[in-house]
A and B are shown apart, each in its own frame.
Chain A
Amino acid sequence: MIALWVVLGLIVVLGIFFVLNYNSLVALRNQMRNAWAQIDVQLKRRHDLIPNLVETVKGYAAYERETLEAVTNARNLAVGAVGKGVGAQSQAEMQLSGALSKLLAVVENYPDLKANQNFLALQEELTSTENKISFSRQYYNDSVLGYNNKTQMFPSNIVASMTGFKQGEFFEVESEAERAVPKVSFTQ
């Protein structure tokens, strides 16, 4: 009789352990997905701002056709990469960032443009969108780290492997070579 109660008690304890760990894994995974959606929102916002920016700059700096075209092309590539996975998307967005910063550096040579209210407002939006992208990436990576820790560390890793929780992928800004190095080595 006592043995039966002990076994029952053990089952209940194990069950509670399982449910608690499972739920917190789900919560962390949702947080990670949510954070990813945040990045998407900001990337989309940047895609939307660029045609406007190119139009405004064109009016003042028509000679910079090459720079402007590079931005437009990079933007189209980035729009095309939406939904093609974390790796491809971060690659395309990095190129877009590069083209944009080149454009904003060129703008320095056009004082009239720099005084344009419309341009100033666009520039504020663009600066802030860049910041929001990097902050949402920062939060996403932090969320991935937290989630990956949970899936790897004992005892929650047992629940994770039983119920098929996969590792999250970091949104990298480093070069391709650095991305090959697994980033999760400092979790111990």
Chain B
Amino acid sequence: MMWQQIKSNQMRSAVLVAGMLALLALIGYFIGLAFFDNGVAGLVIAIIIWMVMNLVAYFQGDGILLGLAKARKIEKEDHPRLYNVVEEMKIASGLENMPDIYIIDDPALNAFATGRDPKRASVAITSGLLQKLNRDELQGVIAHEMAHIKNRDVMLMTFCSILLGTIVILSWYATHLLFFSSMTGGRRSSSGGGGGAQLIILAVGLLLMILAPIFAQLIYFAVSRKREYLADASGALYTRYPEGLASALEKIGASTYELKSANKATAPMYISNPFRKKGMAASDLSSTHPPLSERIRILRSMAGGASFAEYDAAYMKVHGKGGHVISENAMAGVGAVGLRPASSEGALAEPTKVERTREVSDLMWRKNEYRTIDCDCGTRLRIPPKMKATKVRCPHCGRIHQL
């Protein structure tokens, strides 16, 4: 049934995560062998470091992520349309609690979801994206983020990124320590017999530590790409309108701004890869997201309906070769799901691009605690919060305003 979690996809993710865990264990073991002559001790140290990082992420994760992205929380009065769209998608996805909404003051076009469980989640969107999208497109983007929350991708990706981070940190320190200790003249070369065996272990360990972070990263990206397709499919299902998300992705793809506040570890949380480069190959292993053009083509090939089965068929049509992106049992017993028409333009006046831009810039000024004075000549004055003067002169017509 469609509202249940997608089991075989979870299975695949679980296998990949297990692979990363095995890498971490191997690294810990070799570090132990190399430094303490005891593999188990290294294993224990690796696991302790990993656990501590997990605890921090569990209790602070969303706060750290939102803080890194310089996101600001908004209420309904700040931007009623955004709040309403989020609430609509909360209802469509059957999420229990309303997620918090954050805005990132950045012209780049991106959005992400965070939170350790569906009950305490947040969605964040850049001011650039909020300006650019009409209501249907905004709905598509929010539906995609809601799907990440609903499918528990946020938790999975946080878990994976911590695992990746631990592997990277451990192998970085271990290779450097090994390198320096061999520079200062082989330590403990006299410790018992079997110097040759130890050398081999060291060599294998060194190789492992160089390769592990790369493997871990590839696994991490593979998990991430799978979840992106699934979130797109769920987004189409929630809105019953794949074109909304497709057209939003098109706008995102056309933008050349890079998101300043993103980093490699947080990249999979965003709706599109913040570090994407032009002309990236379609099956690039080192990418957190499937190429935008491909995601758009899949969504636009969903001619007959909005169900998972329809998305899967579209995926296979675009990809040419076999292989489902969504498991059989997620598609079973659902039947046809109809599409809805685009929101009627005109009758329910949609704000124009200029109005949307003004709306968002007003919001950002307010969030930065600027005061606004509308001068009689039509000029709008923005008063910074730290201004001490009691009067201000309109630069356009010269009228004096009391503060």
Per DSSP, chain A at the interface is helix
Name the residue on B nearest A120 (C-beta). B349
Do B333 and A132 touch (CB < 8 A)?
Answer: no
Do B240 and A142 touch (CB < 8 A)?
Answer: no
A146 to B335 alpha-carbon distance, docked (Å): 11
Which chain A positions have C-beta within 8 A of B348?
104, 123, 127
Known: A146-B1, A187-B333. A138 touches B80 (CB 8 A): no
Do A187 and B335 touch (CB < 8 A)?
Answer: yes
Mark interface residues in B143-162 (1 if CB within 8 Å of A CB, else 0): 00000000000000000000
| CB of A154 within 8 Å of the partner chain | no
A38 to B97 alpha-carbon distance, docked (Å): 12
Do A135 and B333 touch (CB < 8 A)?
Answer: no
Known: A38-B91, A139-B91. A124 touches B84 (CB 8 A): yes
On chain A, the number of residues with a Cβ less than 8 Å from chain B's Cβ atoms is: 32
- How far in angstroms is the closest Cβ of chain A from B235? 13
A132 to B240 alpha-carbon distance, docked (Å): 13
On chain B, the number of residues with a Cβ less than 8 Å from chain A's Cβ atoms is: 25
Mark interface residues in B54-96 (1 if CB within 8 Å of A CB, else 0): 0000000000000000000000000011001101110111100
| CB of B211 within 8 Å of the partner chain | no
Q: Which of A105, A135, A145, A149 contacts B91 (CB 8 A)?
A: A135
| CB of B397 within 8 Å of the partner chain | no
* Most chain B Cβ neighbours within 10 Å, of A104, A105, A135: A135
Tally of contacts, chain A with chain B, CB under 8 A: 66
Quick one: which of A133-188 are within 8 Å of B by CB?
Answer: 134-136, 138-139, 142-143, 145-146, 149-150, 153, 186-187
Q: Which of B3, B80, B87 contacts A142 (CB 8 A)?
A: B3
Which chain A positions have C-beta within 8 A of B333?
149, 153, 187
Do B91 and A136 touch (CB < 8 A)?
Answer: yes
| CB of B183 within 8 Å of the partner chain | no
A187 to B347 alpha-carbon distance, docked (Å): 38
| CB of A30 within 8 Å of the partner chain | no
Mark interface residues in A110-124 (1 if CB within 8 Å of B CB, else 0): 000010000011011
| CB of B334 within 8 Å of the partner chain | yes
- How far in angstroms is the closest Cβ of chain B from A1? 40
A124 to B350 alpha-carbon distance, docked (Å): 9
| CB of A128 within 8 Å of the partner chain | yes
Do A132 and B88 touch (CB < 8 A)?
Answer: yes
Ordered by A's residue number, 12 sampled pairs between the chains whose C-beta atoms are within 8 Å are A101-B347, A104-B348, A108-B346, A108-B347, A120-B349, A123-B348, A124-B80, A124-B84, A135-B238, A138-B92, A149-B1, A186-B335
11 further A-B pairs in the complex, CB-CB below 8 A; given A128-B81, A145-B334, A186-B336: A38-B91, A101-B347, A124-B81, A127-B348, A135-B89, A135-B91, A135-B238, A139-B93, A139-B94, A146-B1, A146-B3
